[in-house]
Structure 1
Amino acid sequence: MKRLVLTLALVFGALQAQAADPAPAYPPHSIPNTLLRALPKNANGRTYQLHIHLPASFAKEPGRRYPVLYVTDGYWDFPTVVSSYNNLNYDKVVPEFITVGLGYAGDNLDYGELRNWELSPVRDNPLSDSSGNADKFLASLEKDIFPLVEREYRGDPAQRYLAGSSLGGLFTLYAMYARPDLFKGYIAASPAVVVGNDWIIGQAKAYAATGKPIKARLYVTGAENEWPAFFAGIQRYQALLPTLKHPELVYQTRVIDGERHAGTKAESYTRGMRFVFEPLAPETGKSKD
């Protein structure tokens, strides 16, 4: 009996000691070569935060400038893009480049409300300013964000690229038609073509009527299992592209089979980066033995 009491006392003492000891403080996982940069409030009252990934050679080659891929909805899509970039760069099918995810500074933010303000070029409600400000966002990129990235992180102003999904994909197409001189390549993953009753298709036709060139590469995807009406809008734009005959625009379209709206991002960005950066890729063929 005494031995049992002693054993129970030892067990109870061990449990008390475990309860008293705090759980080990393991460091959080982070993505290497990345940083967050909160910007001052701009003229439109927007406070942006940049998610920045720098190439492996950045510190070793201080005189080198790099292409930059700007990605909308950085709070969601930045990790996906960076992971794909690392794989593609290892395979030498894309060059080293900087990735800049575009997001917002602050806690407990309503991303849906924030992104609707600036990624859509069309107002949901003509009496409200809660959407339809893509022109202001594009101006902020040009006036505030490009100069910072090119001054402090050695981004190459002649090699800017833009990517986005859904409303971000719509903004990507809008930027191509509104300011075709700003970017060399565009990745529109499942773009929200249906916004404003195919408003972007009207812009595409109007631009084509001018006969002006678009000196860039464009990659446009849709997901096979999107909402049917949403997917139909993407298909209308994809079918329209060959008829527009934009001078100098090199494009590719794809339907990502088996995926829904968000599930298409990984493949869309991976294939899109490979396509738009192909002219700068160290290697474009198959692996060599």
Structure 2
Amino acid sequence: MKLRNYSKVSVTTLSTKNRTMRLFFCFLFLVTISVEAQHTTSTKDSIYSNSLGELRKIEIILPDNYAADTTHYDVWYVIDGEWNTHTFTNIFNFLVAIKFAPQAIIVNVPNRYVNGFNLRDRDFTPIQSKDVDSSGGADKFLAFFEKELMPYINRKYRVSSESGLFGTSLGGVFAFYTLLQRPDLFRFYTLGDPAFQFGDRHLVRMAAQKLKSVQFRNTVLNIGGRSGFSYGDMARDAMDSMLKANAPSGLHWHSALYDNETHGSSVFKSNYDGLKYAYLGYYVRNARYQPTGGIVVKGRPIRLFLPTDNAEIRYTQDGSLPNRNSALVDDHLITDDPSGIRAISFSPGGRYDHELPMNLRTGDYLTPEKMLRATRQLPKLDLQSKPVNGQLTGVVAIPRDGYYVFQLTPSEGTQLYLSDSLWIQYNPADGHVRQTVILPLRKGNYILKLLHPAKKADDPSLNFGLYSSENGQDDWWRNPLVKW
């Protein structure tokens, strides 16, 4: 699959550097695919449309735990629903399971048939065309969505303020027409192999005239489809060129080309890529630097890692606030002055934009304190040390000057001290989040105390470790001094 990105908001391309480190920190984001968060509750319904003058059947697919919670969910409307909804729902379930997207309500909007004739040609096309029977009814179909279907769903279900529209082929034409006519009706517009050649490229010309004057507020558009002859034959090349020249800053768009696909098979990839792009940033909505805190010595730079998979994280080093044109993070930064670094994880719709908290500071080496007689009896801690009654207390021998990393996944009440200074503790706002603190230590003996109250059944393992680092940039996780 080739991916072409013409958007002003491009998706990070990861380097091949530091693969081992990324695998080491995958605990932050790895999940087990399970049956929870699946869409299995389905309700058949219908609504009479005054705009269309007919009864329209619909199907509402709810998350499994909809009845048990109070969450307000995004809503995705799937047109050509009789053949698109099953695939769409399965892909959405997968993305929810791997934490790439939140749960959502899915509304299946099937076509209406009269005497075996599918009225999609009527509903999806904005103008009459001699090449398409009964064409030109998109305005009425749009009125059905805006004035009848969406208000009905909003009244009946717990919905958020954001929704999406998924359409393929002529359905993609309708979705793009809706984007131009009612840009605020949906937050997300996802198109699969859209037939932009319809009406002698009517939408391409219309968009060129209207786009610069349309006010978009972080609207997200994803277009996927076939490469090769079809790319030009269906006027996708012309639409991409037009968007590149005219798309305003409030429209975040992405276009992808797929080799060796058919008009039907490209829908699958368009669906998958469109949902990933719509929720870009959700996967790393709680992203933070690794190490998460500590002290950095001027002239002794360390390596800061950031989770750039399925993310767009941009940064500055002069203390200024990053924007969407700032430099992209390529999975790590080297610095001896973290005070000037600022990084923001951006999302196309702005929903998951957040600045990564910087909890490192510049400073000097810590020095060992003189051991009091009462503490000289403490055991020496090493890889064989075991906790007693939920505590690990003893003396750590630091063999040489350098950086040392303390790693811990704290539970409620957990505290980690080094020579009476508290460095890691449980924060209810963060929950069970792995913390890694890097400290520059002089050679000598230090008292380490790890307090861990009675573990609850659902608490994760502490995964405590103390690691040595030669220069702050090496693979310190390979050098454990103490592990629990």
In 1, the alpha carbon distance for the partners of 2:262 and 2:90 equals: 21
In the other structure, the counterpart of 2:244 is 242
Is this contact kept in 2: 1:89–1:95, CA < 8 A?
yes
Q: Secondary structure at the match of 2:40?
A: coil
In 1, the alpha carbon distance for the partners of 2:129 and 2:168 equals: 19
Cα deviation, residue 225, structure 1? 5.9
Q: Which residues of 2 match residues 121-270 of structure 1 at below 5 A?
A: 121-125=126-130, 130-156=134-160, 158-210=161-213, 212-213=215-216, 215-224=218-227, 227=230, 230-231=233-234, 233-270=235-272
In the other structure, the counterpart of 1:94 is 101
Q: Residues 243 and 47 from structure 1, CA distance in 2 versus in 1: closer, same or farther, beyond 3 angstroms?
A: same
Q: 2:42 aligns with which of 34, 39, 48?
A: 34
Cα deviation, residue 107, structure 1? 8.7
1:52 paired with 2:55, answer no
Cα deviation, residue 214, structure 1? 5.0
In 1, the alpha carbon distance for the partners of 2:214 and 2:159 equals: 31
Cα deviation, residue 42, structure 1? 3.1
In 1, the alpha carbon distance for the partners of 2:257 and 2:249 equals: 24
Larger relative contact order (Cα-Cα within 8 Å, sequence gap ≥ 6): 1
| The 10-residue stretch of structure 1 (216-225 or 79-88) with the greater mean CA deviation from structure 2 | 216-225
Matched letter for residue 58 of structure 1: Y
Q: Secondary structure at the match of 1:278?
A: coil
Q: Residues 101 and 285 from structure 1, CA distance in 2 versus in 1: closer, same or farther, beyond 3 angstroms?
A: farther
Matched letter for residue 76 of structure 1: W
Structure whose CA Rg is larger = 2
Cα deviation, residue 279, structure 1? 4.6
In the other structure, the counterpart of 1:71 is 78
| Structure with the larger helix share | 1
Cα deviation, residue 277, structure 1? 2.2
Is this contact kept in 2: 1:208–1:246, CA < 8 A?
yes
In 2, the alpha carbon distance for the partners of 1:107 and 1:34 equals: 25
Q: Residues 37 and 240 from structure 1, CA distance in 2 versus in 1: closer, same or farther, beyond 3 angstroms?
A: same
In 2, the alpha carbon distance for the partners of 1:47 and 1:203 equals: 31
In the other structure, the counterpart of 2:273 is 271
In 1, the alpha carbon distance for the partners of 2:198 and 2:153 equals: 31
Is this contact kept in 1: 2:219–2:252, CA < 8 A?
yes
In 1, the alpha carbon distance for the partners of 2:139 and 2:183 equals: 13
In 2, the alpha carbon distance for the partners of 1:169 and 1:56 equals: 29
Cα deviation, residue 230, structure 1? 3.2
CA RMSD of aligned residues (A): 2.7
Instruction: Report Cα offsets for 1:176-212 as digits up to 9, x if no partner.
Output: 0001011111101111100111110112111134263
In the other structure, the counterpart of 1:24 is none
Cα deviation, residue 35, structure 1? 2.3
| The 10-residue stretch of structure 1 (39-48 or 257-266) with the greater mean CA deviation from structure 2 | 39-48
Is this contact kept in 1: 2:224–2:269, CA < 8 A?
no
In 1, the alpha carbon distance for the partners of 2:105 and 2:92 equals: 10
Matched letter for residue 271 of structure 1: D
In the other structure, the counterpart of 2:407 is none
Q: Residues 65 and 152 from structure 1, CA distance in 2 versus in 1: closer, same or farther, beyond 3 angstroms?
A: same
Cα deviation, residue 221, structure 1? 1.3
| Structure with the larger strand share | 2
Is this contact kept in 1: 2:111–2:120, CA < 8 A?
no
Q: Residues 286 and 33 from structure 1, CA distance in 2 versus in 1: closer, same or farther, beyond 3 angstroms?
A: farther
Is this contact kept in 1: 2:231–2:237, CA < 8 A?
no
Q: Residues 32 and 246 from structure 1, CA distance in 2 versus in 1: closer, same or farther, beyond 3 angstroms?
A: same
Paired residues, number: 253
In 1, the alpha carbon distance for the partners of 2:283 and 2:44 equals: 27
Structure 2: runs of 5+ lacking an equivalent: 1-38, 286-306, 311-433, 435-484
Cα deviation, residue 79, structure 1? 0.0
Cα deviation, residue 173, structure 1? 0.5
Instruction: Report Cα offsets for 1:109-163 as digits up to 9, x if no partner.
Output: 432xx1011101121249x99211111111111111111111112222x201111
Q: Residues 237 and 106 from structure 1, CA distance in 2 versus in 1: closer, same or farther, beyond 3 angstroms?
A: closer
Q: Secondary structure at the match of 1:193?
A: coil
Is this contact kept in 1: 2:190–2:223, CA < 8 A?
yes
Q: Secondary structure at the match of 2:128?
A: coil
In the other structure, the counterpart of 2:122 is 117
Is this contact kept in 2: 1:226–1:259, CA < 8 A?
no
